[in-house]
A = this chain, B = another copy of it.
Amino acid sequence: MRTISATHDLAQPLPLDGGQSLEDVRIAYETYGTLNERGDNAILICHATTGDQHVATPHPITGKPGWWSRTVGPGLPIDTDRFYVICPNVLGSCMGTTGPSSLAPDGQPYGMRFPVITIRDMVRAHVALLKALGVERLYAVIGGSMGGMQALSLAVNWPDMADRVLVLAATAAMPVQNIAFQELGRQAIMADPDWQGGAYYGTGRSPDAGLAVARMAAHITYLSEASLSEKFGRRLQDRQAKSFGFGADYQVESYLRYQGESFTGRFDANSYLYITKAMSYFDLTEGLVGDNRPSDEDHRARLAEVFRGVTSRFCLVSFDTDWLYPTSESRVIAHALNAAGAPVSFMELAAPFGHDSFLLDVPALDRVIEGFLLR
């Protein structure tokens, strides 16, 4: 598989939804496979919150296999013998694309001087990259979770860009409970004195404790009670009886601590703030209706209006144990697409892994992806 890991510097400042524009934007990305002569075999993969461009190559810090290496590769559901796959690191992240840890024009890291961005801003950067790579129209755009939001945003805001849109475990507008969890994570980071107002770069201190707590909270929401019960139950960690202390008694406690701590070694706390803020802001109808959404019913009608101009075919997948972006969220999208007369297929798949199901071994998902990309 021909794999390229590269960066691209945008020639023009990137306009942002917040009204500012961002100079000297660099986009780190990977490509797999080759763009064919007709230029019609390109697939854009959009990664999730703390994901990155290393879809099918080892992570440079952890050394672990790429996050979707079970799905993307020669002969796999997203077949790199057939498709030219592009995955950019999102704007605001910390794996090579410009974000709060990058240097501002004054030579100092942005920190909290980095502008607040939106999901649409991330997609605007993706589109600029696609143009630079000679991709005028995508065979498909694919994403799970925050990646699914980007896919939806691309379909709606750049309606001539994608033939197919595959959205996994996502939503058309961030549910309020998720806004609450994301706010909790941001508060944990900003409460850490080592955060230092975001200006921690080069100080030798960083808000690892706060970031670990934020990650723990998010991690709980990614799993189902069923998967936690199956994986850990109330089993004790390396002991036969309760410790009657504040160490990790239960396996789930030890696991969460590990998840929190290991995350701080590979992710920037400010990036976590900016990316979760973009997610909290996400509402596909926002340009149309202003920010103060009046009612669910009105929102659904407006979502159908938003989809009226799309030219893509859609495929939506939810998972029955996903309580973070439950099936009801995908159903809202499916109804709105139907109301707008757009072709859409929608499936709830059974999988025990909660929200993380889109990343894990779910054979039915492989078949859905293969089928949707067939023709």
Binding site for B on A (CB under 8 A): 18-19, 112, 115-116, 173-177, 179-181, 183-184, 186-188, 190-193, 209-210, 212-213, 216-217, 220, 223, 225, 228-229, 232-236, 240-246, 248-250, 252-253, 256-257, 260, 273, 277, 280-281, 283, 290-293, 296, 323
Closest CB in chain B relative to A38 CB, distance in Å:
41
Q: A18-B244, A291-B236 are in contact. Are A260 and B187 (CB under 8 A)?
A: yes
Q: How far is the CA of A173 from the CA of B293 in the complex (A)?
A: 41
Is the CB–CB distance between B188 and A235 below 8 Å? no
Is the CB–CB distance between B176 and A234 below 8 Å? yes
11 pairs from A and B in contact (CB 8 Å cutoff) = A176-B233, A176-B250, A177-B228, A180-B256, A184-B213, A184-B256, A188-B188, A191-B212, A240-B292, A249-B280, A250-B280
Is the CB–CB distance between A220 and B180 below 8 Å? yes
Chain B residue, CB-CB nearest to A210? B191
Q: How far is the CA of A242 from the CA of B225 in the complex (A)?
A: 34
Is the CB–CB distance between B176 and A257 below 8 Å? no
Is the CB–CB distance between B216 and A252 below 8 Å? no
Q: Which residues of B contact A242 (CB under 8 A)?
A: 18, 281, 291
Q: Which residues of B contact A253 (CB under 8 A)?
A: 179-180, 183, 280
Q: How far is the CA of A277 from the CA of B250 in the complex (A)?
A: 11
Closest CB in chain B relative to A340 CB, distance in Å:
21
Q: How far is the CA of A188 from the CA of B236 in the complex (A)?
A: 22
Closest CB in chain B relative to A191 CB, distance in Å:
4
Chain B residue, CB-CB nearest to A183? B253
Q: Which residues of B contact A213 (CB under 8 A)?
A: 184, 187-188, 191, 213
Q: Which residues of B contact A243 (CB under 8 A)?
A: 116
Is the CB–CB distance between A290 and B217 below 8 Å? no
Closest CB in chain B relative to A341 CB, distance in Å:
27
Given contacts A187-B256, A240-B291, A323-B323, 11 further A-B contacts (CB under 8 A): A18-B242, A176-B233, A180-B220, A181-B220, A183-B248, A184-B213, A184-B220, A187-B213, A191-B210, A191-B213, A217-B217
Q: A191-B213, A217-B184, A220-B181 are in contact. Are A176 and B245 (CB under 8 A)?
A: no
Q: Which of A186, A216, A229, A241 has the most CB of B within 10 A?
A: A216
